[in-house]
Structure 1
Amino acid sequence: MDNNEDEDLSKKNLTIALAGNSNVGKSVVFNELTGSNQIIGNWPGKTIERAEGKLHFEGQDITVIDLPGIYSFSTFSMEEMVSREYMAFEKPDVVINVVDASVLERNLFFTLQLKEMDVPMVVCVNQVDIAKQKGIVIDTEKLQDMLGVPVVSTVAVRGEGLHELMEKTVELAQKKPQIKTMEYGAEVEKRIEKLRETIESENLDLGYPPRWVAIKLLENDPEIKELVESRSKKVSRSVYDMSQEIEEIHQEPVFAVIASERYSLANKIAFEAQIQSEVNITFSERLDRLFTHRVWGYVMAVAVLGGLLLWTFVVGDFFSGLLSNAFSFYQPVDPKVTGSMASILWNGAFGGIVAGVTLVIPFVIPFYLMLSAVENSGVLTRVAFMMDSAMHKIGLHGKAIIPMILGYGCNVPAIDSTRILETRRERLLASFAITFTPCAARTIVILGLVAVFVNIWWALALYVIDLMVIFVLGRIALKVVPGESTGLIMELSSFKVPSLTAMFKQTWSRTKSLIYLVFPLYIIGSAAIQALYAWGVLTPISNVLAPLTVGWLGLPLFAGILLIFGAVRKEFTLLMLVALVGTNFAAFLTPVQLIVLALVSLLFIPCISTIAILAREFGWKATGAISLANFASAMIIGGIAFRVLSLVF
C-alpha cells in the first residue's frame, strides 16, 4: 500500500473534541451529533467522566469527544488538567469551541487560551436565538476574520447550523491550515516570544506548544514550572527575569497582567463582532431576577428542592407500588427453616433483583429525569448559587447541593454525581455527608418501624436529627480533611426550554451506569449474607455485638443480625425483622426500641453498593474511614437516644 492510500484511509477516521465553558450547549451539540452512539466512562486514571460518541458524516467516520466544561487551562481542577493534557498529548484533528452568543466576551477568554494551545479550531457560536432575544446579533464573518478560524452560528437544540459546522470541521481537518497567533500587548508579547525562543533553543520537548509553555511559565503554573525547572536552569532564570520586568512595568503580578491582556483582547473582539439592537427585558431575565433575589431567591431554591423531592417520592412511590404488586408473589423465607440452597437463592439472588426493580429504578429514573430538566433549563445553577453560603458551613459550595439532593433517592448515584465538584477534597466531604442522607431504602425502614408503630411525628423527628448530624459531622470533617475550600465559579446561563432528547439521553446514561453497579452487588451480596445466616455464621457475630446492641442501645439480641443484613441493603433490616418476628413489630419491640433501631439503621454503615462506589471513587482507606465514622456515630447517638427516650416514654 502506498503513502497516498495511507493518507486517504487516515482521512476517513477523524477525532473531534468539543471544548468550552459550562452551560454553553456543548452537551446538546454532542448529543445531536452522535445520537445514541455514545460511550460514557472515565478518563484513564481519573474519576472525571468521559463522553465519547461516533458520527458518520459524508463518508467520514468521526469520533467525537465531549471535554469537561471549563473556563481555563490552569491546574485548579481535575477537569482543567484532563482537558489540557488531552489537547496536548492526544492531539485531536479539530477542536470545536462552543461559545454562548449571548455572553460572547466571557466565552472568548477561553477561546484565546485554546488559540494558545495551537490546535486546529472551529468556533461554534451557539444559542444565537437567545442572544437575538437579548438584542445581540453576532457578525460571524467579522469574528472569523479577527480570530483567524472558521466560525459557524448554531441553535443546537433545534439542530440548526450543525450540518454547516461539520462541513467546516471536516474541511479544516483535511486542509490543516497555518494557525493565526493572537498577539497581546507589546510589553507582554515581546517577553512571551523571547521566552518561546529560549524554550525552543533548549529543545524542551514537554508535549505542549512552546508558546503555550512560555505563557504558562509566566503565569507561574506549578506543574509546567516544575517540569521546566527539572530540565533547564536557563529557561527558569529567563522566566524569573521576565516576570520581574513585567511586574515592574504593570505594578501587579504577572498572572493578573496576562489575564487582563486576554480580557482586553476578548473585549475588543466581542465589541467588533457584536451588533447591538433594541433590548427588551425578556421573560427569562425576569425569571432570573426572581431566582437570584436576596429574599425570593431562597424561597424559589427551597421550592425547587422540595418540588424535586416531592416529585421523586410521589412518582417513585407510585411506580414502586405498581412494581411491588407485580412482584407480590415474592415473599422472603427463613433459610434456617428450609436449609436449602433454593431458599438462599430465592431470598438473595432473586430478592436482589426484586429490590433493585422495586426500590432503585422507580425512585432513581424520575429523579434523574427531573434533575436533567432542572439542570438543562438553567434553574439548578441558580439554586446552587443561592445555597452557596449555607453549604460553605461544611466546607462545600452551592453545587454540592445537587448530589446531596440525589442522595435522598439513592446514595450510589449521588456519590457518583459528586464529580461535578472541582477538587477531590470537596468530592470526599460531599460523599461523606451523602452517606448520612436518608435514601429511599432508609426511608422505608423509618416509615415501616416508626411511622406505622409509633407515630409520624417521631418519624419526621428522625429526619431533623439526621440533618443536625450531617451538619455537625460535616463541620468536624471540614477540620479533619486537609486542604482549603474553593469558591463557587458557575456560569449562570440564560433560562431555556430543556431539550427532551437531551433529557432522556442524560437520564438513561446516568441510570445505566447505576444499574450496572447496583444490581450485581445486590444479587451477590444478598445471596452471600443469606448463606452466612443459613449456615449459622451470623448468630455468633450477633452475640459478639450484644454488649453494643443490648447493653448500650437497649435493643433485643436479634438486632445484631438486623444491622448486619442492613449493611447489605438498608431495607433488609425491615425484611429480616419480618422473617424473624412477623409483621406486628409492636409485640416484640417497645416504642423506644423501634425509634432507636430506625435511628441506628439511618446512621449505620452504608450499604454494600455505596461502599463499592466509595472505594471506586476514593480508595479503600477513605472508604474505611467513612464507614467507621458512620458506625461510631450510629452507636454513640443511638445509645444517647435510648437513654433520653427512656425518660420520655
Structure 2
Amino acid sequence: MSNATTNKSKKLTNPTETEKSNGSDEKSQENDITIALAGNSNVGKSVLFNELTGSNQIIGNWPGKTVERAEGKLLFEGKEITVIDLPGIYSFSTYSMEEIVSREYIAFEQPDVVINVVDASVLERNLFFTIQLKEMKVPMVVCVNQIDLAKQKGIVIDTERLSAALGVPVVATVAIRGEGLHELMEVATEVALNKSKNKITTLKYGAEVEDRIQRITQLIESKNLNLGYPSRWVAIKLLENDPEIRKLIESKSMQIVNSAYDMAREIESIHNEPSFAVIASERYFIANQFANGAQLQSDIKITFAERLDKLVTHRIFGYVISALVVGGLLLWTFIVGDFFSSLLTQAFGFFKPVDPQVSGPIVGILWNGAFGGIVAGVTLVLPFVIPFYLMLSLIENSGILTRVAFMMDSAMHKIGLHGKALIPMILGYGCNVPAIESTRILETRRERLLAAFAITFAPCAARTIVILGLVAVFVSVWWAIALYVIDIAVMFLLGRIALKIVPGETSGLIMEMHTFKVPSISVAAKQTWSRTKSLIYVVFPVYIIGSALIQGLFAYGFLTPVANFLAPITVVWLGLPVIAGVVLIFGAVRKEFTLLMLVALFGTNLAAVLTPIQFIILALVSMLFIPCLATLTILLREFGWKATSSIALANIVTALIVGGIAYRIIGIFM
C-alpha cells in the first residue's frame, strides 16, 4: 500500500510488487502483523479480503477440519501483513464447525488485531457478534462497511460515537470501491503494534447476570486453570451451557461446573427463560443501545435495490425471475462457451497432428495422445468453465442467489428440502465435492443426505465439459439444454422417491438476505480464477498424461476385452459403440475422462465416429452415471458407506434406465 495514498476515502491499490522492489523484503520480523477478519456472512468481509490481498492468496482447509481457510499477504508501510479471513458466523457457539474454528483461532493463535466487519445498514444485528468479540478481549477494530448502502436507506453512522460506546476504533468503508481501506489499515496496524497500550474495556450486563458472571470469573481465576480463553468469556459460556466449554472445565474442576450450573438455574428462575436466551437478550439490548446512539437518520428514499427486492421476491414474478436467473446462467455458459470453443478450435486447427495414432513407435503414440489432450483441454474445457464460474460469482455477490433460494423454498419442499438447499445444489454445477461439503448449512442430517443425493445428479463442471464437448459442439446447443431439463426432472423425481424412503421431517427456512448491490467485477474475476485454476492444475495434466496413456493402452489391445464384455449393455440397450463401456468406466474416475478417452482414441473430430443420437445418449448416461471418485470419497466421509453405496447404486441404475429409454424415444425423431 503506497505511502502516497493519504486521502482516507481513496481507493486501495495493490502495492505488493512496488513495495517489494523498494527493498522492503529486508524488514525484520518485528514488523510482521497478523490480522483476522471476523464478522457475519454477507457483510462484505470476503470483498475486503480480496481488496487487501489481491491475488496473493492461499486457499485451503483448516488443519484437521473441512472448513475452508483463506489466507493472504500484503505490504503496508514497510510491514508484511498476513490476513486471515475467518468464516462468516453469527456467534461463538458450538452449533457449527465454522464457529468452533473461529473462536479457537482467535483464542489460541492470538492474531495481532481482529477487524470486525459489520454491515452499516443492519448495525444492531451485527453488533451482537461484536459484543461477543469484546468478551474475548482481543485487540479489535470495527470496520463499518457498506456505508453507501446504509445512506441509501437513510442511515448515517456516527463512527466517533460508536467508537466511544464500544471502546475500540471504528472506521467506515465501502470495500467494494476501496474507500476507507487505507485508513482501516493505518488504524489496524497501530492497534496491532501498540497492544500493550490498548485498554480493552469490559461491557457490563444487567445486575443479576453481571453478578454471577463476576463470581464465576473469580472462581476460575482462583484455580489458575490456564484455559487459553479469557476467564470472563469462559464464565459467560458456562452460564450459556456451552457443551465444549463445559467439557473443558469438567476435566479440570467440577466445582466450577456445578457452581455455574446452579447460577444458571438462578438466572432462569428470575427471568423464566433459559439462561442462554437471557444472555442473548442482554447482548441485543446493548447492541440496540449502541446502534441507536450511533445511527443518524436522514431523508429516507425508496431505493432501486428495494424496489428490485420486492420484484424478485414477488409471489408470482419472483418465480419467473428465479427461473430466468438459473436458465440464464446455463444459457450464458452455452452460448459464450460455444463461441469461444469455435474460435479456439479454428486456432488449433493450424497445429498438426491432432488425430489419434494407434500404430508405430510408442513415443509417437504417447506424444500424439498428449498433444490431443492439450487441444481438448483448451478447446473443450476453458471456453465453458470460465464463463460459468464468472457469472455464478456475479450472481452470488449481487444478492440474487439468496433471493432465488428463498423463492424456490416451496418447490424444494416437494423433495424434502428447503430453499437454502438450492445454494449447494447450484454450487454442484461447479463441483459436487464442495457442494456436498456446503450442505452443512442445512439443519438436519436427513436434509443434508437428501441434498447430497440430489447434488450427485447435478452436472458439475466436469459433466458440463462432457455435455458441451459432445452435444453442444457436435449436435446443437438446444440438445445440450434439453439434457439439463431432463436432469432436473430426474433430480425432482428421485428426490420425491428418496423423500418417501428417508424418514424424518423437513425444517423451515431461516436465511439472511443481504442488500442488493452491484457486484465487483474484480472480486468476481478473482473468485473465478480461484475456482478455475484448481481445475486447470488438475484437469490439464490429467488430459495430457491420461490421453497419452489411453491411446497407448488402446494401441496395444488392453481395452478391447473390457469393451466386448460390456457390449450387451452399451451396444444393445444404449445403442452406443462397443468402446463406450470402457469410456463410462474411466468416466467414473473423473467425468472428464469420458471426453478425454474419446479424444485420445478418435481425435477431436468425434463426428466421424459417433452419430448425433449417440452423442446425446453418451452424454446423458455419463451425466447420470456414478459420481467421480472424489465425490464418492466426500460422501463416504460425511455419511458413511451404507449411504454412499445406496447413492452410487441409484446413480448407476438411473443412468442405464433413463439412457435406454431415451435412446428409443429420441430414435423416433432422429
**Could you say which residue in structure 1 is the equivalent of 2:434?**
416
Tell me the percent identity.
Answer: 65
**Could you say which residue in structure 2 is the equivalent of 1:21?**
40
Instruction: Indicate conservation of the 8 Å contact 2:470/2:615, yes or no.
Output: no
1:607-622 matches, within 5 Å, as 610-612=628-630, 615=633, 619=637
Shift of 1:121: 0.5
Instruction: Indicate conservation of the 8 Å contact 1:78/1:423, yes or no.
Output: no
Shift of 1:594: 7.0
Segments of structure 1 that go 5 or more residues without pairing to the other structure are 1-7
Instruction: Indicate conservation of the 8 Å contact 2:409/2:420, yes or no.
Output: yes
**Could you say which residue in structure 2 is the equivalent of 1:188?**
209
Which of 161, 181, 204 is the equivalent residue of 2:180?
161
TM-score by length of 2: 0.84
Segments of structure 2 that go 5 or more residues without pairing to the other structure are 1-26
Residue 215 (str. 1) matches residue 215 (str. 2) = no
TM-score by length of 1: 0.86
Shift of 1:396: 4.7
| Whole-angstrom CA distance in 2 between matches of 1:579 and 1:29 | 46
Moved more, 532-541 or 334-343: 334-343
Counterpart amino acid of 1:315? V
Residue 342 (str. 1) matches residue 364 (str. 2) = yes
Moved more, 462-471 or 620-629: 620-629
Counterpart amino acid of 1:571? L
**Could you say which residue in structure 2 is the equivalent of 1:262?**
283
Tell me the alpha carbon deviations over residues 568-626 of structure 1, each in whole angstroms, 9 at most, x when there is no partner: 52324754785799746688x9x6x77654542332234xxx43466478659767765
**Could you say which residue in structure 1 is the equivalent of 2:89?**
70
| Whole-angstrom CA distance in 2 between matches of 1:434 and 1:421 | 10
**Could you say which residue in structure 2 is the equivalent of 1:244?**
265
| Whole-angstrom CA distance in 2 between matches of 1:150 and 1:580 | 61
| Whole-angstrom CA distance in 1 between matches of 2:309 and 2:605 | 55
**Could you say which residue in structure 2 is the equivalent of 1:635?**
656
Shift of 1:96: 0.5
Tell me the alpha carbon deviations over residues 620-645 of structure 1, each in whole angstroms, 9 at most, x when there is no partner: 97677654443333234445666888
| Whole-angstrom CA distance in 2 between matches of 1:397 and 1:530 | 46
Tell me the alpha carbon deviations over residues 100-120 of structure 1, each in whole angstroms, 9 at most, x when there is no partner: 111100110111111111111
Counterpart amino acid of 2:35? I
**Could you say which residue in structure 2 is the equivalent of 1:112?**
131
CA separation of 1:138/1:598 partners in 2, compared to 1, >3 Å: closer, same or farther? closer
Moved more, 29-38 or 248-257: 29-38
Shift of 1:402: 4.1
Residue 274 (str. 1) matches residue 298 (str. 2) = no
Instruction: Indicate conservation of the 8 Å contact 2:563/2:578, yes or no.
Output: yes
Tell me the alpha carbon deviations over residues 297-327 of structure 1, each in whole angstroms, 9 at most, x when there is no partner: 2222112112221211111111111111122
CA separation of 1:283/1:351 partners in 2, compared to 1, >3 Å: closer, same or farther? same
Secondary structure of 2:144's counterpart equals strand
Which of 526, 532, 539 is the equivalent residue of 1:511?
532
Tell me the alpha carbon deviations over residues 364-415 of structure 1, each in whole angstroms, 9 at most, x when there is no partner: 211222222222222222222222343344455434434534555xx53x53
Which of 424, 440, 443 is the equivalent residue of 2:467?
443
Instruction: Indicate conservation of the 8 Å contact 1:377/1:496, yes or no.
Output: yes
Instruction: Indicate conservation of the 8 Å contact 1:445/1:573, yes or no.
Output: no
1:306-321 matches, within 5 Å, as 306-321=327-342
Instruction: Indicate conservation of the 8 Å contact 1:399/1:421, yes or no.
Output: no
Shift of 1:282: 1.1
Residue 205 (str. 1) matches residue 226 (str. 2) = yes
1:39-438 matches, within 5 Å, as 39-176=58-195, 177-328=198-349, 329=351, 333=355, 335-338=357-360, 340-347=362-369, 349-394=370-415, 396-405=417-426, 407-408=428-429, 411-412=430-431, 415-416=433-434, 420-423=438-441, 430=451, 432-438=453-459
Instruction: Indicate conservation of the 8 Å contact 2:44/2:175, yes or no.
Output: yes
Counterpart amino acid of 2:656? M
**Could you say which residue in structure 1 is the equivalent of 2:548?**
527
Instruction: Indicate conservation of the 8 Å contact 1:335/1:530, yes or no.
Output: yes
| Whole-angstrom CA distance in 2 between matches of 1:9 and 1:483 | 59
| Whole-angstrom CA distance in 1 between matches of 2:48 and 2:92 | 22
Shift of 1:534: 2.5
| Whole-angstrom CA distance in 1 between matches of 2:493 and 2:131 | 44
CA separation of 1:639/1:305 partners in 2, compared to 1, >3 Å: closer, same or farther? closer
CA separation of 1:325/1:143 partners in 2, compared to 1, >3 Å: closer, same or farther? same
Moved more, 179-188 or 335-344: 335-344
| Whole-angstrom CA distance in 2 between matches of 1:648 and 1:536 | 36
| Whole-angstrom CA distance in 2 between matches of 1:48 and 1:475 | 30
**Could you say which residue in structure 2 is the equivalent of 1:37?**
56
Instruction: Indicate conservation of the 8 Å contact 1:193/1:211, yes or no.
Output: yes
Shift of 1:432: 4.3
Tell me the alpha carbon deviations over residues 199-221 of structure 1, each in whole angstroms, 9 at most, x when there is no partner: 23333333222222222222222
Counterpart amino acid of 2:554? Y
Secondary structure of 1:324's counterpart equals helix
Moved more, 470-479 or 223-232: 470-479
Tell me the alpha carbon deviations over residues 529-581 of structure 1, each in whole angstroms, 9 at most, x when there is no partner: 33332232222222332454356556564432342354452324754785799
Instruction: Indicate conservation of the 8 Å contact 1:368/1:510, yes or no.
Output: yes
Secondary structure of 1:501's counterpart equals helix
**Could you say which residue in structure 1 is the equivalent of 2:594?**
570
Tell me the alpha carbon deviations over residues 136-175 of structure 1, each in whole angstroms, 9 at most, x when there is no partner: 1111111111111111112222322222212221221222
Secondary structure of 1:422's counterpart equals helix
CA separation of 1:79/1:428 partners in 2, compared to 1, >3 Å: closer, same or farther? farther
Shift of 1:279: 0.9
| Whole-angstrom CA distance in 2 between matches of 1:53 and 1:119 | 21
Instruction: Indicate conservation of the 8 Å contact 1:136/1:275, yes or no.
Output: yes
Q: How many residues align?
A: 629
The Cα RMSD (Å) is: 3.5
| Whole-angstrom CA distance in 2 between matches of 1:422 and 1:174 | 38
Counterpart amino acid of 1:534? A
CA separation of 1:48/1:429 partners in 2, compared to 1, >3 Å: closer, same or farther? farther
Moved more, 168-177 or 141-150: 168-177
Moved more, 352-361 or 128-137: 352-361
1:425-574 matches, within 5 Å, as 430=451, 432-438=453-459, 439-444=463-468, 447=471, 451=475, 462-474=483-495, 488-549=509-570, 553=574, 557-567=578-588, 568=590, 569-572=593-596
Secondary structure of 1:570's counterpart equals helix
